Amino acid sequence: MTPNQRGSPIYSSCTKCKTLIPLGESRCTRHRPKRTHVLSSTQRGYDAEYLRNRATILEGSPLCVLCNRRIATTADHIIPLSRGGTNQIHNLRPACPRCNSGRGNRL
């Protein structure tokens, strides 16, 4: 094993088979314990309902309702989730990424 240019090792090695693995890990992929907890889309705020309704909305109304100029590729929450809004279709409207991200929590 050759020393790394910056002097500090960037790899660790598997405690089972000594395979090089990214620093911070303790086992290689083969010996790593199975992760039972996988971050679901719900925990990121985008659940299946949102994704489904977004697809429906973007199919029917391709133009952003906020600027009426750009193509909508995102579904904007009319009442933001942070204010108790839901992912139901009546709380979503087509928006372009620019309008959607620029609006924040303002109504």
Interface positions with Zn ion (CB under 5 A):
14, 16-17, 19, 28, 31, 64, 66-67, 70, 96, 99
Q: 59 and 53 in contact (C-beta within 8 Å)?
A: no
Distance (Å, whole) CA 67 – CA 70: 7
Q: Which is nearer to Zn ion, 27 or 85 (CB)?
A: 27
How far apart are CB 72 and Zn ion at their closest, in Å? 7
How far apart are CB 34 and Zn ion at their closest, in Å? 14
Phi, psi of 2 (to 5 degrees): -90, 145
Q: Which is nearer to Zn ion, 32 or 52 (CB)?
A: 32
Q: How far from each other are the two terminal CA atoms of the chain, in whole angstroms?
A: 59
CB atoms within 10 A of CB 26: 13
How far apart are CB 5 and Zn ion at their closest, in Å? 26
Q: Which is nearer to Zn ion, 17 or 48 (CB)?
A: 17
